[in-house]
Structure 1
Amino acid sequence: MSTPWDVHRLPRAAGKTFLVTGGNAGIGYFTAEQLAGTGATVVLGSRDPAKAQAAMLSIRSRIPDADVRHLLLDLADLASLKSAVDALDVDRLDAVVHNAGVALDHPPRRETKDGNELMFGTNHLGHFALTHWLAPRLKAAPAARVVTVGSFAAKSERLDLDDLQSTLDYRPKRTYGRSKLAQMYFGFELDRRLRAAGSSVLSVVTHPGGALDSLTPSRPPVHVRTTGERLRGLPAALLVQGKEAGAWPAVRAVLDPQVSGDELWAPRVFGLRGRPHAQTVKDHLADAEVAARLWEASRDLTDADPSRPLT
């Protein structure tokens, strides 16, 4: 019998190296903090050095011996990703957590440096291409993992393969949900391709459920929650949780040897709150044909193919 997973007593991972994109704030920060507590080297991928420095200071204030580093990383600039990975001063990478994301609430539609819609281009295409460039370091690890953090919101969305860039019909919240759905399709399709090729690298998809700032413990200066915010958020705790708990599925996907790539790791209670557990991948998330078509479109848009260098 395997030992029950305890989110507060994580297994040691000394000697391993993990990269967390967007590790300077939100769920990415708490993912990095929890992984740093295992003794691993944790690299925070961030385009903002000042915010990354603040996050590292916060982590070290709680874990004095934490080995945390910063990698300058801009997922909205595809041409910069190879040089960013070249600057990653490690021979092997045991896991990358694709967490960083852009969420816009209002028009107008914005684009990346490459001319892609900003949310789709950053959240999906940036991570798609990043995986390609990280492949040699992932392959060098005995059993590396690519962990893609999706969203509960993606379950209610459907991709429009004829308008991936939302040029014909741009609605910010829907475009965000579709970008997260594209990430999840990527994670599942990558796993299918890796398994078919017999690769030792595992691709795992997670989502954090409902994660609110008002239910998130303070980590100054990264996040400060006032007493009023905490009190106002208490009723919501019946349904959702804070971002510290929202990080649990991704952390388990990195560390637990029992995790499988054909599962969706998410909070236990209605997929919104609670400890992480595996859900069966079903409905539109299991549509391999749509995932394959998205893969081909993403390859054309990025000039990258993450599965090939990983197999």
Structure 2
Amino acid sequence: MPSVLKTQPWNVHRLPAAEGKRFLVTGGNAGIGYFVAEQLAGTGATVVLGSRDAAKAEAAIASIRSRVPGAKVQHLRLDLADLASLKTSVDALGPDRLDAVVYNAGVALDHPPRRETKDGHELMFATNHLGHFALTGWLAPLLVATPGSRIITTGSFAAKSERLDFDDLQNTHDYRPKRTYGRSKLAQMLFSFELDRRLRAAGSTTLSVVVHPGGALDSLTPSRPQVRVRTTGERLRGLPLGLLVQGKEAGAWPAVRAVLDPDVRGGHLWGPRVFGLRGRPGLAPIWDHLADTTTAARLWAASCDLTGVAPTFTPV
């Protein structure tokens, strides 16, 4: 069982070198995704920031380069809410290797009204789950061609108390933003575990891994002037919370470990060690409802229908 797997010590401040490798981080221009990209850039790898906003991506690239001399960072235009655009984005990556993709981008709405994409899908479910699901299908040939590649999906504690409603998968009725967000993250996590099962069945060496950042707050996050500045007031208000949770720089650690650590296996869940809320990244127990293979398979079929994409991984 993953929960009892023995792993080697991991130093978040001394990451293994990864020269020659290439990583894609969706939503790598801000928040936790930015810190995932910054930390991975320090390994010598080429890091591609997937972002629909070119100006924000360029600001993030400038910030990373100011902190990581010689950083190899690129921007890929990527709009997960626009399903028809994803193949074009993947084609722009070129035929080179892709050693890992970190599915970090996401939308979290706090208030009604319910919003839809131009494809007619609820915005959070479409961006957080359906976009990444379809992206997996288009990335599959590139990932399969890279031995030992990894697909890292960022989950959330918001999914822990939620369950999917297949009669209203996109929350058309009785829309509640927080519940809808939690369900979209649950869909992502169920997808990742189902993806791992399908990868194993196909004999693929690609791994599918789930991570979660714990409690990651802006008020505890160090400033990056080109990206976001933490005010003195925010820092002072966040100090007491630092006993329980952490900032987004630390929130990136589980994803970075999942990308780089040779001990990581497909089907793992990684998160902060201290009550799942803060601290160094470690292997976490998988919540019972995430192991529901029937629900996961049903979600996979529904996602194929909604996106028109059916991810397949046939070893070359």
Q: Structure 1 length normalisation: TM-score?
A: 0.98
**2:312 paired residue number:** 307
CA deviations on 1:101-156 (whole Å, 9 max, x unpaired) are 00100111001121100000010000000011011111111110000001111111
What RMSD, in angstroms, separates the aligned Cα atoms of the two structures?
A: 1.2
Structure 1 vs Structure 2: percent identity of aligned residues?
78
Q: Distance in 1 between matches of 2:202 and 2:141?
A: 16
Runs (4+) of structure 1 exceeding 3 A deviation are: 307-311
Q: Say whether residues 1:139 and 2:144 are aligned partners.
A: yes
Q: Say whether residues 1:63 and 2:81 are aligned partners.
A: no
Secondary structure of 1:8's counterpart equals coil
Matches within 5 A, 1:93-112: 93-112=98-117
Q: Name structure 1 gaps, 5 residues minimum.
A: none
Of 115, 120, 125 in structure 2, the residue corresponding to residue 115 of structure 1 is 120
**2:43 paired residue number:** 38
Q: Say whether residues 1:129 and 2:134 are aligned partners.
A: yes
Q: Distance in 1 between matches of 2:125 and 2:105?
A: 12
Q: Say whether residues 1:174 and 2:187 are aligned partners.
A: no
Task: State the Cα distance separating 1:30 from its structure 2 match.
Answer: 0.2
Matches within 5 A, 1:192-211: 192-211=197-216
Task: State the Cα distance separating 1:307 from its structure 2 match.
Answer: 3.3
Task: State the Cα distance separating 1:89 from its structure 2 match.
Answer: 3.1
Does the CA contact (< 8 Å) of 2:41 and 2:72 recur in 1? yes
Secondary structure of 2:87's counterpart equals helix
Q: Say whether residues 1:273 and 2:278 are aligned partners.
A: yes
Q: Say whether residues 1:183 and 2:188 are aligned partners.
A: yes
Of 226, 234, 254 in structure 2, the residue corresponding to residue 249 of structure 1 is 254
Does the CA contact (< 8 Å) of 1:92 and 1:139 recur in 2? no
Secondary structure of 2:255's counterpart equals helix
Q: Distance in 2 between matches of 1:151 and 1:157?
A: 11
Amino acid at match of 2:140: A
Does the CA contact (< 8 Å) of 2:204 and 2:313 recur in 1? no
Deviates more, 1:151-160 or 1:181-190: 151-160
How many residue pairs match? The answer is 311
Does the CA contact (< 8 Å) of 2:22 and 2:48 recur in 1? yes
Secondary structure of 2:271's counterpart equals strand
Of 193, 214, 218 in structure 2, the residue corresponding to residue 213 of structure 1 is 218
Secondary structure of 2:76's counterpart equals strand
Q: Distance in 2 between matches of 1:162 and 1:198?
A: 34
Q: Name structure 2 gaps, 5 residues minimum.
A: 1-5
Amino acid at match of 1:87: A
Amino acid at match of 1:10: L
**1:295 paired residue number:** 300
Amino acid at match of 2:26: T
Q: Distance in 2 between matches of 1:307 and 1:106?
A: 37
Task: State the Cα distance separating 1:90 from its structure 2 match.
Answer: 4.5
Q: 1:206 to 1:186 in 2, by over 3 A?
A: same
Amino acid at match of 1:61: S
Task: State the Cα distance separating 1:305 from its structure 2 match.
Answer: 1.6
Q: Distance in 2 between matches of 1:174 and 1:48?
A: 27
Does the CA contact (< 8 Å) of 1:190 and 1:307 recur in 2? no
Does the CA contact (< 8 Å) of 1:145 and 1:254 recur in 2? yes
**2:31 paired residue number:** 26
**1:228 paired residue number:** 233
Q: Distance in 1 between matches of 2:165 and 2:7?
A: 42
Q: Say whether residues 1:54 and 2:59 are aligned partners.
A: yes
Deviates more, 1:100-109 or 1:221-230: 221-230
CA deviations on 1:167-215 (whole Å, 9 max, x unpaired) are 0121001100110110000100000111122111000000101100000
Task: State the Cα distance separating 1:221 from its structure 2 match.
Answer: 2.0
Q: Structure 2 length normalisation: TM-score?
A: 0.96
Q: 1:229 to 1:288 in 2, by over 3 A?
A: same
Q: Distance in 2 between matches of 1:163 and 1:267?
A: 33
